Amino acid sequence: MEYHKPVLFDEVINNIITDEDAVYVDCTLGGGGHTEGILENSSESSKVVAIDQDVEAINFARKRLEKYGNKLQIFQDNFRNIDTIVYLAGFEKVDRILMDIGVSSNQLDNAKRGFSYRFEARLDMRMDNNLKISAYEIVNNFSEKEIADIIYKYGEEPKSRKIAKKIVEYRKTKKIETTTELADIVIKSIGKSMKRHPAKRTFQAIRIFVNKELEILSETLDKAVKLLNKKGKLLVITFHSLEDRVVKEKFREYENPCTCPSDIPICVCNKQSLGKIITKKPIVAKELELEENNRAHSAKLRIFERSE
């Protein structure tokens, strides 16, 4: 099992660490890269709470980080339960929260999980095996319109209708069982003449839908911002435009929640600003990192700070 240095590592550490004793939450432990950076650079009495729903990742990170002892607490859960986890860790409020929304390359590359069009595996894509609907159900049981809508909405795939039509045609003769079968169907429906793999958007769309990623992101951001102490910071790294849009819109709403019509001179809704957006433009990877890590190309870091 191998984990790479996390994307935007230096940028995260520079923006998340405070000299004071603080409580940090890393919502996406993964291989433990960001968590280790926080443990290493934070004050002696600071505490770190880390969350991941992947048992393999937790076992790997627990071993890697055991030297930090009780400075670190790890919870196996979905980060949408961040409020409960913080409470169970013994805190009411925290000072720093990091969410790295990229699916770990380790999960994507794990052939058995059925996330990748590069390896043959049973179609699944569930990050949590208790979820009812997997990729298999979608491609074999959903209607052509439902499939087209998912691929268009969550994959921003302009040829979603063509792909859905081909999927439904194909499954009349046999069930679509594997990742490579699905990837081949996509290639047959839209051709191969593009820089990225033709199935990339379709696989992304189905994965996001299966795991309810955008809904969970939105819900978690709302909980996270409320958990922050004054001057607390929320840092979020996204890897594609749909997630980045959710974060950008949420941050705007937190900064200016007023819902009054623009033509009335004073605010009557009385919704208070929760703080300010620190990054007017998102922080992106530097040249060197882009050369070393392909995933860094789409990474964007946005930061919000709670008001006094």
Binding site residues for S-adenosyl-L-methionine, as ranges? Answer: 32-34, 52, 79, 100, 107
Cα(162)–Cα(174) distance, rounded to whole angstroms? 19
- Is beta strand 228-238 parallel, antiparallel or unpaired with respect to 47-52? unpaired
Query: How far is C-alpha 95 from the chain's CA centre?
Result: 21
List of residues 6+ apart from 265 with CB closer than 8 A:
none
Annotated binding site: 32-34, 52, 79, 100, 107
Which has the closest alpha carbon to 11: 307, 304, 305, 303?
A: 303
Residue 8: phi, psi to the nearest 5? 55, 35
**Concatenated DSSP letters of 64-121:** HTGGGGGGEEEEES-GGGHHHHHHHTT-S-EEEEEEE-SPPHHHHH-GGG---SSS--
